[in-house]
Amino acid sequence: MNVTDALNSRASIRAFKPDPIARETIRAIMEAATRAPSWANTQPWEIYIAAGEPLERLRRGFLDRFHEGKPRALDMPAPAQWPEASKQRMEALMAGRTRLAAPGTAGKYPRQVMAEWNYRFFGAPVVVYLCMERGLSTWSLFDIGLLAQSIMLAAQEHGVDSIPAVMLASYPDLIRTELGIPQDQLVLFGIALGHRDPQAPQNQLRTTRRPLEDVVRMKGL
C-alpha cells in the first residue's frame, strides 16, 4: 500500500469488531509511526496502549461516569468556540451520524446512543493514548499530531482501522490509574485501533473535504 492509498482508504471508524490485534502488529505499527518528525528531534511523545482486561476496566469506568452524568475532565481543554465554517462542518457530521444511528431502547434517541457508544470506545480492542509532559508548548502538540497521523497510516498498511477521538481521554484520572501515567504528563487524546464492522451503519459515513481551491493558495506555480 502506498501513502496515497493509505490516505484515501483511511476513515474514522466508529464501530469495531471485538477481534484482538496481535502484539506483533501493534509493535510494527509503532516502530514505523515513531519515525515521525519532531522539532529538533525532541520526540515529545509518550505512548500508552490499552487492550484486554485493562481496556475493559477503562471502558466500564467511562460508561459508569457517563451514566452518572459526570462531565468530561480533559487534560487539554476543548476550544471555547469554533469559527463559523468549522461549526457548520461539525454540525454536518453530527447530522450524518444521527441519520445512521439506530434508535436505542428504553427511551434513548440516536444522539444518546452515539454518545454512549463513544464511551464504549466504539467497541475497539485496542486504544493508544498519546501523552506529553505538562511544561511543553503547542509546538510539541504539533509533533504529537504528526505522530498520530503516522500511527493511523501505519495501521492502515497493516489492515488495521482507526479513529482519533478526544472522547477516549474524557476521564484522565481513570486512564492514569489504569496505565500508570504520571501526573506530570498530559493525556491528550486516544486512537482506537481494530477491524471495522462492515455491517455497522455508522461505518457507512464518509465525510467530504473542502475543495482544494478553498484550502490551498499557490504562487509562482
With H, G, I as helix, E, B as strand and everything else as coil, classify residue 40. helix
On the question of pLDDT at 89 being above 80, the answer is yes
Residue 113 banded pLDDT, cuts 50, 70, 90? confident
With H, G, I as helix, E, B as strand and everything else as coil, classify residue 118. helix
Q: Out of 87-101, 117-131, 176-190, 202-216, pick the least confident.
A: 87-101
The per-residue pLDDT for 104 is: 52
CA 140 – CA 42 distance, rounded (Å): 8
**The CATH classification of domain 3-77+118-208, taken from the options 3.30.70.1350, 3.40.630.30, 2.30.29.30, 3.40.109.10:** 3.40.109.10
Supply the pTM of this predicted model. 0.92
Stretch 36-61: mean pLDDT: 98
Q: How far is CA 42 from the centre of its chain?
A: 23
185-194 vs 126-133, strand pairing mode: antiparallel
Stretch 152-181: mean pLDDT: 97
Cell representation of residue 90: 461539525
Residues with Cβ within 8 Å of residue 120, at least 6 apart in sequence: 59, 62, 63
CA 84 – CA 122 distance, rounded (Å): 28
The per-residue pLDDT for 100 is: 78
Cell representation of residue 183: 501526573
How many percent of the chain have pLDDT more than 70? Answer: 96
> Could you state, in order of their start, the residue ranges of all structural domains in the chain?
3-77+118-208
Stretch 217-221: mean pLDDT: 95
The per-residue pLDDT for 109 is: 62
